[in-house]
Amino acid sequence: MRRLFTITAAVLLLLTGTSPSFSSSAREASHRHHRGHHQYLVWSRFDDFETGTARLVITRRGRVVPLTHPPAGTQDIDPRISPDGRSILYERDLPDTSQAWIIGIDGRGEHQLDLGCSAPCAGTNTPSWMPDGRNILYDRVSGPFNSNGDAASANLWKFDLRTHRNTRFSYAGLNPTTEETYPTFAPAGYLIVLHGRQDGHSAIFRERLNGTHPRQITPWALDADLPRVSSARTGPGHDLIVFETYGHGAPPGLGHGQQVSTVPATCGSLARCTRKIRYLTQSPLPAEDFNPAWSPNSRSIVYVHFTSSPPTVQGDIWTMGWNGQHKHPASQDDRFEFRPAWGGVR
């Protein structure tokens, strides 16, 4: 089962084996909208890597500007855009806990959601919107923690933004040592989630809208992570899940690192689903690609292109077509950038 926090400066040090050093030059390229003037990108950016301070930034009028205002040593990560495109949920990681926060795309109304997290609850991770825009799901992490830092449980809970009612969402038959997280909903009426085992392996599952009848889609050995199911009702991205392979780092000797991939959510058996996995990025080491998310029309994907050539570590925001073609940088900066989301105002 996963630890309480999902990304810290220490995690990136483990990826690179060295302290980061960035070049002094930077180039911002604002995202080219595919349709209309109401689409935007939002992602996390380390303001100060040494102290571990990361904020959300957003594309606005052709520029990339700060969106959230975290205290020093705090990371704002995992932005999730509301169904109407006007609000953003995100996770705020503090030194000793994680919280769910919300902010408008105009930068107003930034505040913490009170999810009633008190002992044994230790943190609230990955807040995500339900299709109605009124309820959210989040990963409620509860102690005690073992010597490896693993929580006793990490299950999905449902929170009503109007009534503030909190109820458990993960089904009762879920193994107590299995984490359920990163939920996204498909227009066809099903739910995609990530299950994490205590041995560190993870896999994507498809469930009914009420969180029951899980069906495994990716093999445990692939360590799929950060799944996002397409919101398209038609078109080439329809019913596709985009995800990253080897979410905790590719095993030694594999010959390549993390890759952005897709798999049909309706592929059937695990064996058939495994055969239908399509690898969209194949950057040669030391480069890797991860943290994918769909565009509003699911014809494009935004992701992180990562390079590590000690003493330099770089994470930039890139976009590509749903089939892996037409890769372009959306933001290249001397600060580390990660966990993007792509939204549109209705």
DSSP one-letter string for 305-318:
EEEEETTEEEEEEE
Cβ-proximal residues to 173 (8 Å cutoff; 6+ apart), any chain: none
Question: Per-residue pLDDT tens for 227-268?
Answer: 999 999 999 999 999 999 999 888 888 888 999 999 999 999
pLDDT band at 314 (very low <50, low <70, confident <90, very high): confident
Decide if 4 is inside a domain: no
* 178 located within any domain: yes
* Tally of residues, the chain: 346
**Greater model confidence, 48 or 12:** 48
**pLDDT for residue 156:** 97
In a domain, 2, yes or no: no
User: CATH number for the domain including 340?
Assistant: 2.120.10.30
Query: Could you give the number of structural domains in the chain?
Result: 1
Q: Does some domain include residue 258? A: yes
Domain that holds residue 56: 9-344
**More confidently predicted of 303 and 332:** 303
The C-alpha atoms of residue 28 and residue 63 are separated, in whole angstroms, by 8
Decide which of 6 and 123 is more confident: 123
Is 65 domain-assigned?
Answer: yes
Give the per-residue SS3 of 172-185.
Answer: CCCCCCCEEEEEEE
Which one, of 177, 187, 183, lies nearest residue 159 by Cα? 183
76 within a domain of the structure (yes/no): yes
pTM of the model as a whole: 0.90
What pLDDT is attached to residue 234? 94
> Is pLDDT above 50 for 74?
yes
pLDDT score of 33:
43
Q: Is residue 287 domain-resident?
A: yes
Q: What is the mean pLDDT of residues 187-201?
A: 95
3 in a structural domain: no
pLDDT at 26 over 90: no
Compare 118 and 17 and report the one with higher pLDDT.
118
Under a CB-based contact definition with an 8 Å cutoff, are residues 265 and 191 in contact? no
150: pLDDT strictly greater than 90 = no
